[in-house]
Amino acid sequence: MSDPTNAQVSNHEDKGQARAKEPLLWSLLGGSWSLFLLGLIIAVALGWGLWPTLLYSKKLQPFQFNHLVHTETAGMACDECHGFDEHGRFAGAPKMADCLECHTWSDRQNEDNERETAFLEEFVTEDDQLKKNAAWYSYAKQPDCVYFSHIAHVEKGGIACEECHGLHGKSTVPRPYYENRLTGYSRDVWEKMKMGDCADCHTRHGQPENNACFVCHK
Ligand code: HEC
Ligand code: HEC
Ligand code: HEC
Ligand code: HEC
Ligand code: HEC
């Protein structure tokens, strides 16, 4: 590498006088180009950190539900809470009323469990009635124009929950939900379950016939 200060001087001989008076730091940095680069690096770094924070609004689930304690300690299967109804439709997340089968003041699982007590205080009246429901945010929620059937994927396609949802079924607290302020999409959809991602998997599974518009947009 040649000395940058010398290169400057030979390129700008007519400015030689002015340059000599410039501060030492400026010449050490090699002039405006490295300042421009420095600015660029700062801008990119800020954009990297700041843009996602501005783009997404962060929301917490209405209750900090613990999946792991139910699948491990309580030994429950996923379909005890996320089953299909008699028409083969996916039941989604369970209703809060279903939780009262196992958690009421008069018939609770564990007197010493503070998180169970917190649940009872928030959702169950003294005479064991449901106080209110919880409006869960769905990380995978698609816009209304998209048709998605769980039974086709889970039963016919034999695809595991984890393949599309990651390890949520093993979580002890639900992670925050991030909503894209511009599109209203959840960050999970925006990052990994867009139109092209659905179609890629259909192609991988040798199902290209499912990539016609009307299959997903009925
Ligand atoms: C089939 C019975 C059953 C059902 C249905 C059930 N739970 Fe539980 N739940 C348990 C058992 C067992 C434990 C473990 C209690 C212990 O040993 O501390 C538990 C633990 C909990 C705890 C304590 C969490 C912790 O971190 O220790 C909360 C809160 C809770 N359940 C809420 C719910 C909610 C909300 C629902 C409905 C979506 C629900 N449960 C449905 C059996 C059930
Ligand atoms: C005791 C009932 C219960 C059991 C058993 C249970 N879940 Fe859940 N599940 C819930 C509740 C309540 C929510 C909503 C809160 C949340 O997102 O954590 C939920 C949400 C989810 C979601 C979030 C979907 C989305 O996009 O919002 C996934 C994925 C999920 N469960 C997978 C599983 C899997 C996999 C298993 C089995 C390993 C399982 N669950 C067992 C009650 C249960
Ligand atoms: C092929 C990918 C895929 C697989 C496999 C899959 N899901 Fe989903 N899941 C989705 C999509 C996409 C949505 C959003 C659907 C919508 O908004 O119409 C969703 C939504 C959900 C929701 C929120 C639904 C609601 O009504 O609130 C739950 C809970 C859920 N899935 C649980 C599961 C469980 C449990 C399994 C395994 C038995 C599973 N999913 C397998 C893609 C998948
Ligand atoms: C991990 C792989 C995978 C992903 C991701 C996936 N699919 Fe599929 N999908 C399949 C497979 C495999 C089938 C064929 C199931 C069968 O009939 O055997 C299928 C079938 C379908 C069908 C036709 C079955 C029916 O119910 O009419 C529709 C519609 C569909 N997928 C929509 C979607 C949408 C929308 C998404 C994205 C939100 C999506 N899929 C993401 C693997 C996937
Ligand atoms: C494999 C499933 C699948 C197929 C096939 C498919 N789409 Fe989509 N489409 C989606 C999903 C999922 C979304 C929402 C996520 C996104 O915007 O990428 C979407 C979103 C859209 C949107 C934006 C709607 C909105 O409200 O944001 C348009 C427009 C659209 N699709 C048109 C089409 C057209 C035209 C075709 C045929 C060339 C097609 N799609 C084929 C799954 C599919």
Atom of ligand 2 nearest to the CA of 137: 27
Q: Retrieve residue 211's tokens.
A: 């990539």
In this predicted structure, what is the pLDDT of residue 18?
47
Examine residue 148 and state whether it is found in any structural domain, yes or no: yes
What contacts 106, CB < 8 A, 6 or more positions away? Answer: 128
In a domain, 7, yes or no: no
Query: Per the domain annotation, does 151 fall within a domain?
Result: yes
Q: Say how many domains are in the chain.
A: 2
Question: Does 140 map to a domain?
Answer: yes
Q: Which residue range is the domain that position 33 belongs to?
A: 14-59
**Rounded to whole angstroms, how far apart are CA atoms 72 and 121?**
24
Residue 27 pLDDT? 62
Partners of 180 in the beta sheet? 56
Residue 12 has a pLDDT of 46
Q: Check residue 75 and give its pLDDT.
A: 95
Q: How confident is the model at residue 23, as a pLDDT?
A: 63
- What is the reported pLDDT for 31? 63
Q: List residues near ligand 2 (CB under 6 A).
A: 61, 65, 67, 70-71, 76, 78, 80-82, 93-94, 136, 138-140, 161, 165, 168-169, 174
Mean pLDDT by 10 residues, the chain (218 residues): 43 47 61 80 78 86 96 94 87 92 96 96 97 94 93 93 94 95 90 94 94 95
Predicted structure pTM score: 0.87
CA distances from 32 to 7, 14, 62, 157 (A): 14, 17, 52, 59
Of 6, 41, 59, the domain-final residue? 59
